[in-house]
């Protein structure tokens, strides 16, 4: 009798999991590291189900993590010259003269994982192993990274989870294995637990809050290493102009478009803390904001680096959706389509006394004119639909009495 019970218990979860594969998204928790303000998720990999915290990198081409202490008997390096190496766009063959272990093998498909916090590209090898993300995903491709190159990551994180538009991005592999529609959504929590969701889109309750804008392709790669002719794998949107309190900034249109060298335009980055604007946009932007704030009786104070416009916290009123300050709109193509940035996303509280406009100067010669950063994404629901090549976005959920940790 006992063995009968065991087998029933054993079978049951498997049946439930396989029945749910087709319809439900794969979801992972998102947490914010308070010290670095990086957003990370937790995955399990390999035969020992090692728990690995990985920082979410929307512009990263693949998953990488440190394999120095990784033990798994289902680990396999990707051989150079193999079909998988080609799909991964592996570069050459790498070897290793130390005792063999995960991350140290010969004749391995070369990977170039990038640590953006160190601005360092490292020569490593591609490998595959089983990923456990609610369901078992065998032969999941990733790159190892030597532990010496983890500096800058949130404490406890040993890798990065890349969500760019590549064949081996985290979401592309997951949808491929489970035959799900090629979509994923991100909801970065200001506190509590948010969600990375892969596969079928949001339910009707969220869907009705979303606006849609096309994702556009930058014709020139923005990764530190690439082959001539490769487009960028990052996500660009076609911001046409910026409004502060309803008034459009007077800025040359050319900054907002992407030229034939891939310069200009607007992308979304989850590794930048704050939105960075080309200096020729930043200057009129801060001027307009300070003026509109003054009209609301908000008092300017001396600026605190890296910000250029700061205010006395006492002079700013608050409501449940954050500080009441001038609205900022990123104006998008189509009639009346814009991404509204409210106080909770535009302002940064430095201390009790000082609150600053949380945008930074991108310099006078940036590759990309507008880089939307993580602070501006908090408590905004973002769905990347790669079937239709569209971004669907909510603006601040706080204005709807919702948040990424209460969806
Ligand atoms: C982001 O903010 C955190 C906390 O303020 C800081 O430690 C980190 O250096 C910042 N990173 C960047 C790239 O500005
Ligand atoms: C790689 O090959 C070299 C030369 O044959 C050998 O000395 C070395 O031990 C090998 N490394 C691994 C990790 O197997
Ligand atoms: C906001 O939502 C919470 C639960 O999610 C609810 O208890 C509360 O009454 C709501 N507040 C308003 C103003 O609707």
pLDDT tens-digit profile of 98-132?
999 999 999 999 999 999 999 999 999 999 999 99
> Does residue 13 register a pLDDT over 80?
no
Residues 208 and 231 in one domain: yes
Residue 106 alpha carbon to ligand 2 centre in Å: 6
**Residue 152 lies inside a defined structural domain of this protein:** yes
Determine the average pLDDT of the residues in 269-277: 98
Q: 45 - beta bridge partners?
A: 50, 131
| Residue pLDDT, tens place only, 150-176 | 999 999 999 999 999 999 999 999 999
Domain count, the chain: 2
pLDDT at 349: 96
Range of the domain at 192: 26-198
> Does residue 6 register a pLDDT over 50?
no
Residues 192 and 213 in one domain: no
Determine the average pLDDT of the residues in 250-275: 97
Query: Atom 7 of ligand 3 has which residue's CA nearest to it?
Result: 401
CB-CB contact of 122 with 112 (8 Å) = yes
Within 6 A (CB) of ligand 3 lie 401, 406
Which ligand 3 atom lies nearest to the CA of residue 406?
5
Residues 240 and 321 in one domain: yes
Q: pLDDT tier at 23 (50, 70, 90 boundaries)? A: low
Residue 115 alpha carbon to ligand 1 centre in Å: 15
- Which of 198, 221, 252 delimits the end of a domain? 198
Residues 213 and 192 in one domain: no
| Residue pLDDT, tens place only, 33-71 | 999 999 999 999 999 999 999 999 999 999 999 999 999
pLDDT at 312: 98
- Residues 1, 9: Cα–Cα separation, whole Å: 13
User: CATH number, domain at 397?
Assistant: 2.40.70.10
pLDDT at 49: 97
Which ligand 1 atom lies nearest to the CA of residue 117?
13
- Beta strand pairing call for 76-77 and 124-133: antiparallel
pLDDT at 68: 95
The proportion of the chain whose per-residue pLDDT surpasses 70, expressed as a percent, equals 94
**Residue 4 lies inside a defined structural domain of this protein:** no
Residue 398 alpha carbon to ligand 3 centre in Å: 11
pLDDT at 82: 97
> Does residue 379 register a pLDDT over 90?
yes
- Residues 30, 39: Cα–Cα separation, whole Å: 6
> Does residue 1 register a pLDDT over 60?
no
Q: pLDDT tier at 21 (50, 70, 90 boundaries)? A: very low
Residues 388 and 266 in one domain: yes
**Residue 2 lies inside a defined structural domain of this protein:** no
> Does residue 332 register a pLDDT over 80?
yes
- Which of 198, 225, 248 delimits the end of a domain? 198
> Does residue 9 register a pLDDT over 90?
no
Residues 277 and 388 in one domain: yes
Determine the average pLDDT of the residues in 302-326: 96
Ligand 2 in reach of 105 Cβ (< 6 A): yes
What mean pLDDT is reported for the chain?
93
Residue 162 alpha carbon to ligand 1 centre in Å: 20
Determine the average pLDDT of the residues in 244-265: 97
- Which of 164, 198, 232 delimits the end of a domain? 198
| Residue pLDDT, tens place only, 209-227 | 999 999 999 999 999 989 8
Residues 175 and 215 in one domain: no
pLDDT at 159: 98
**Residue 5 lies inside a defined structural domain of this protein:** no
Residue 286 alpha carbon to ligand 1 centre in Å: 21
**Residue 21 lies inside a defined structural domain of this protein:** no
Question: Which ligand is the nearest neighbour of the Cα of 205?
Answer: 3
Length of the chain: 407
Query: Atom 14 of ligand 3 has which residue's CA nearest to it?
Result: 401
Residues 186 and 241 in one domain: no
- Residues 245, 325: Cα–Cα separation, whole Å: 9
Ligand 2 in reach of 224 Cβ (< 6 A): no
> At a CB cut-off of 8 Å and minimum separation 6, what does 163 contact?
56, 57, 58, 59, 60, 169, 170, 171, 184, 186, 270, 384
Which ligand 2 atom lies nearest to the CA of residue 100?
13
Helix spans in 28-150 (H): 83-87
Q: Is the dihedral of CA 343, 348, 351, 354 positive or negative?
A: negative
**Residue 70 lies inside a defined structural domain of this protein:** yes
User: What pTM did the predictor assign?
Assistant: 0.92
Which ligand 2 atom lies nearest to the CA of residue 99?
13
Residues 188 and 230 in one domain: no
pLDDT at 34: 96
Residue 126 alpha carbon to ligand 3 centre in Å: 48
**Residue 46 lies inside a defined structural domain of this protein:** yes
CA-nearest of 290, 232, 225 to 265 is 232
**Residue 9 lies inside a defined structural domain of this protein:** no
Ligand 1 in reach of 304 Cβ (< 6 A): no
Residues 351 and 289 in one domain: yes
Residues 187 and 236 in one domain: no
Residues 336 and 295 in one domain: yes
Determine the average pLDDT of the residues in 362-377: 98
Residue 38 alpha carbon to ligand 3 centre in Å: 28
Determine the average pLDDT of the residues in 236-247: 98
């Amino acid at each position: 009798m006992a063995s009968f019970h065991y087998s029933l218990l054993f079978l049951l979860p498997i049946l439930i999991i396989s029945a749910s594969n087709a319809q439900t998204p794969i979801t992972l928790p998102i947490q914010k590291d308070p010290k670095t303000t990086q957003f990370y998720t937790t995955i399990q990999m390999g035969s020992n189900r090692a728990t690995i915290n990985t920082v979410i990198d929307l512009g990263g081409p693949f998953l990488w993590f440190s394999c120095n202490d990784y033990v798994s008997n289902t680990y396999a390096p990707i051989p150079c010259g193999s079909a998988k190496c080609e799909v991964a766009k592996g570069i050459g063959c790498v070897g290793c003269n130390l005792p063999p272990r995960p991350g140290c093998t010969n004749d391995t498909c070369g990977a170039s994982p990038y640590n953006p916090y160190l601005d360092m590209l490292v020569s490593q090898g591609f490998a595959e192993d089983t990923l456990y993300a609610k369901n078992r995903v065998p032969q999941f491709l990733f790159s190892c990274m030597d532990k010496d190159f983890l500096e800058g990551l949130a404490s406890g994180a040993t890798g990065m989870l890349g969500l760019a538009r590549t064949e081996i991005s985290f979401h592309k592999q997951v949808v491929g294995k489970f035959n799900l529609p090629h979509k994923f959504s991100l909801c970065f929590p200001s506190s509590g637990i948010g969600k990375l969701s892969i596969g079928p889109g949001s339910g009707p309750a969220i869907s009705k809050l979303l606006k849609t804008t096309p994702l556009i392709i930058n014709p020139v790669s923005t990764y530190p290493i690439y082959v001539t002719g490769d487009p960028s794998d990052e996500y660009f949107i076609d911001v046409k102009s910026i409004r502060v309190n309803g008034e459009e900034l007077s800025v040359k249109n050319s900054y907002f478009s992407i030229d034939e060298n891939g310069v200009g335009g607007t992308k979304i980055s989850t590794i930048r803390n704050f939105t960075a604007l080309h200096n020729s946009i930043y200057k009129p932007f801060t001027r307009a904001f300070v003026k509109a704030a003054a009209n609301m009786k908000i008092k300017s104070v001396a600026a605190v680096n890296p910000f250029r416009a700061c205010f006395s916290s006492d002079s700013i009123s608050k409501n449940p959706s954050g500080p009441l300050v001038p609205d900022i709109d990123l104006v998008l193509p189509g009639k009346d389509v814009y991404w509204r940035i409210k106080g909770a996303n535009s302002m940064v509280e430095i201390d009790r006394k000082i609150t600053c406009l949380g945008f930074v100067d991108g310099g006078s010669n940036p590759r990309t004119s507008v880089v939307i950063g993580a602070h501006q994404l908090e408590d905004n629901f973002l769905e990347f639909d790669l079937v239709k090549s569209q971004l669907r976005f909510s603006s601040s959920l706080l204005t709807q009495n919702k948040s990424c940790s209460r969806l």
